Amino acid sequence: MKLLSLLFSLFSCAICIAQEHSHTGAQPLNYPDIEGYRTLKTDLHQHTVFSDGSVWPTIRVQEAIRENLDAISLTEHLEYQPHKEDIPHPDRNRSFELAKAMDEAEEHGLLIVHGSEITRSEPVGHSNALFITDANPLVQDEPEAAFVAAKKQDAFVFWNHPAWHAQRPKGLPVLSDFQKARIKNGELHGIEVINSVDYSQEALTLALEQNLTIMGTSDIHGLIDWDYTEKGNHRPITLVFAKNKSIESLREALFAGRTVAVYNDLLVGKEEFLTPLLQASIEVVKAEYLPKTQVLEVELKNVSSSDLLFENQMEFTFYDSSPVFEIPAGETETLQIKTLEKKSSITLKLKALGCFTAPKVQPVVEWEVRIN
């Protein structure tokens, strides 16, 4: 009987340990600065119970702090208010005010950007207005008037999920006359190429053609843990390359288009920002020849939170591995390179396979490696 009791206890402990390890909490996100700029980790499209989300605004702040984000925005739908019978709030600034008032946000240096979502059917679609001073004037009968009101507040406005199949059954964004007019009038400045788990190559094409800032957001309605972390994913974010960590500098950088959209191992941005980010994400730990050989051993460390996949683009081949290899986030990989003769330095040249500067265009990144 005692044996059965002991076995039952051990079995129960094993189940508890397995359950504990099956749930991995969200990990802090880290990406290096690039020359001249500080890299800010942002999620600028989120919802709470003050529109159609399912959490209180303070939860969004706590999630962001746990993941080491630098800035968030709670962009509640202006026109879509499914919880208004339970949470009536004629003042559309309330969600922002509750988040902004949290002591934890200030203690951890989390920037709370005042934003709202203009929510209309096609061809208008959905757009977020950031850095506003008052959300209430954006509640307008005519959609054009909402964008005019946002412009009066010097808002940065970006087009949300332009390829969303609920509005675009083919899954393809269409630049309508409405969006063309907003761009022409200086009322639309960015576009999501990554929204939730969706990546739109066509939206990237529009971003490049129309000179719109490239954005990536979670568009979270539930819990980050449930929608992303427990599925083994990070939330999508926008890396913004700002002169310093402040609301003013963040705003300037977004208008200037200094961004890279990130979702797990997918990184999307203009070459002038994505390439230096990748260069900074890989550190050369050591480079030396194996004894009595012309085989160079180079140890590389990935200091970013994205797994990075590369393909060799050098004239030199690898000794003991495929030309395609991965360096997981926070880990190291050792390459053995056949240089044929001993050298004092080489140019490490790799194509970043999970990264895009245009549809189907992957950057080739170089590192100057000095050999010990």
Domain with CATH 3.20.20.140 in the chain: 26-264
299 three-class SS = strand
Tell me the whole-structure pTM to 2 decimals. Answer: 0.92
| pLDDT single digits (tens) 178-212 | 999 999 999 999 999 999 999 999 999 999 999 99
Q: For the residues 232-237, what does the mean pLDDT come to?
A: 96
Q: Quick check: 213 pLDDT over 80?
A: yes
Range from 36-50, 158-172, 180-194 carrying the lowest mean pLDDT: 158-172
Domain with CATH 2.60.40 in the chain: 282-370
Q: How confident is the model at residue 13 (pLDDT cuts 50, 70, 90)?
A: very low
The DSSP output letter for 229 is G
Q: According to the 3-state scheme, what is the secondary structure of 82-138?
A: CCCCCCCCCCCCHHHHHHHCCHHHHHCCCEEECEEEEECCCCCCEEEEECCCCCHHH
CA 245 to CA 268: how far, in whole Å?
22
Q: Quick check: 22 pLDDT over 80?
A: no
Closest C-alpha to 46, from 229, 204, 236, 201: 236
Q: Which CATH architecture does the domain made up of 282-370 adopt?
A: Sandwich (2.60)
Cβ atoms within 10 Å of 370's Cβ, excluding its own: 9
Fold type of domain 26-264: TIM Barrel (3.20.20)
Percent of the chain with pLDDT over 70: 93
- DSSP string for 146-205: HHHHHHHTT-EEEE--TT-TTT-TTS-----HHHHHHHHTT---EEEEEETTEE-HHHHH
